[in-house]
Amino acid sequence: EYEEKTGRAHRPLSPKQNVRKNLDFEPLSTTALILEDRPANLPAKPAEEAQKHRQQYEEMVVQAKKRELKEAQKRKKQLEERCKLEDSIGNAVLTWNNEILPNWETMWCSRKVRELWWQGIPPSVRGKVWSLAIGNELNITHELYDICLARAKEKWRSLSTGGAEVECEDAGFSAADREASLELIKLDISRTFPNLCIFQKGGPYHDTLHSILGAYTCYRPDVGYVQGMSFIAAVLILNLDTADAFIAFSNLLNKPCQMAFFRVDHGLMLTYFAAFEVFFEENLPKLFAHFKKNNLTPDIYLIDWIFTLYSKSLPLDLACRVWDVFCRDGEEFLFRTALGILKLFEDILTKMDFIHIAQFLTKLPEDLPSEEFFTSIAAIQMQSRNKKWAQVKRMLTFDNR
């Protein structure tokens, strides 16, 4: 019998339309096969089996319908949530624009504003809020930006023509250094958020990023270009006009923590790491001990996080929300965020050895859940034995001398 079946298997199967018509619902093609009669050339199903198949099939349909209903409900709920979110963003934009921004000086440190701030600044006012919060201690004007940019362009020109030495006003910094810096900027621009495709050559913000970084190396030749900066400038460009982005960039980099890192002041960086470890031990003693046991020092993961202000390591929307609160709370929030990340992944990190922890933390999962992430950061206490971040840091600076 087997041979006979296989021998006939190539024959065209009998038409099935009549079977389909008998069904009072439209099944998916694959499940429908269950109800099909066997091809005419094969012996028919026994009645008992046919009955059983029909029953199983009906059960499957019921299950499928249930699932569909659930999915539909879920979609509806998601839609409602999105509408609610959009509403609340809309409301937040109004509050920021009409109430907070016009009264910045008096309102920005109020409790209400601080709370709204934590929720994330709406993208349409984000740049303005960042600018105000970062401030302009350096008194940089748009004109100064133009001057720095003009100087940078001059240097690029003389570099590309292989021309004579640029006048030696940046004495102490060799021409080779400067050249390397300018060359490096070019290389790094194409490697900044490559998947956004806007900073690459030919992209709409390629020249803007180039200009800001070039202008900065002329404004601060003593700092120059340091890898990581391109990411910070890029995030600012996404939220501010060019000259304002430059002003925010220069002022941001002028903050003590950023200066310590971008000038690669090893001693000061160690002070920051040591202060971080005080709060690490306080907040996550078990994980802290595990890291110690594995010789996992904070520089392994903090260098990347602090240098790029998380813009390279977190999804961009989350990074922007970290920046929001960083602008509000200052440097300590960068370290609080680090502890939030460690807390979020405490369970799995505790089970890993050195190399896997290092690997994990320098390449965080791409699908970080934003609410859990911020809940985790919120749970971090930035007080150690009644001492705040700044006090702990000061104490350690003193110790290091």
Partner 1 sequence: GTSLEEIRPTYTYKVVLLGSTSVGKSSLAYRYVKNDFKESLPTVGCSFFTQILNLEVATVKFEIWDTAGQEKYHSVCHLYYRGASAALLVYDIANKETLNRAKLWLRELEKEFLPDEIVIALVGNKTDLAAEREVATEEGQEFARTEGLLFMETSAKSSHQVDDIFMAIAQELLKREQEKTSVLSQRGGSTADLRESRARTRCC
List contacts with partner 1 (CB under 8 A): 180, 184, 187-188, 190-192, 194, 224, 226-228, 230, 264, 266, 269-270, 273, 295, 297-301, 303-304, 307-308, 312, 354-356, 358-359, 362-363
Handedness of CA 130, 132, 133, 137 (dihedral sign): positive
What element of type H or E holds 388?
strand 387-388
CB-wise, 82 or 191, nearer to partner 1? Answer: 191
CB-wise, 92 or 269, nearer to partner 1? Answer: 269
Burial 337-376 (b: 16+ CB within 10 A, else e): bbbbbbbbbeeebeebeeeebeeebeebeeebeeeebbeb
CB-wise, 350 or 362, nearer to partner 1? Answer: 362
CB-wise, 75 or 363, nearer to partner 1? Answer: 363
For residues 235 and 311, the answer to whether their CB atoms sit within 8 Å is yes
User: Least distance (Å) from partner 1 to the CB of residue 180?
Assistant: 8
User: Least distance (Å) from partner 1 to the CB of residue 331?
Assistant: 17
Q: Tell me the C-alpha distance between 79 and 88, whole Å.
A: 14
Q: Tell me the C-alpha distance between 347 and 12, whole Å.
A: 59
User: Least distance (Å) from partner 1 to the CB of residue 314?
Assistant: 13
CB-wise, 82 or 363, nearer to partner 1? Answer: 363
User: Least distance (Å) from partner 1 to the CB of residue 178?
Assistant: 13
| Residue 109 C-alpha from the chain's centroid | 26
User: Least distance (Å) from partner 1 to the CB of residue 278?
Assistant: 16
CB-wise, 86 or 183, nearer to partner 1? Answer: 183
The tokens for 26 are 């439209």
For residues 291 and 300, the answer to whether their CB atoms sit within 8 Å is no
User: Least distance (Å) from partner 1 to the CB of residue 287?
Assistant: 18
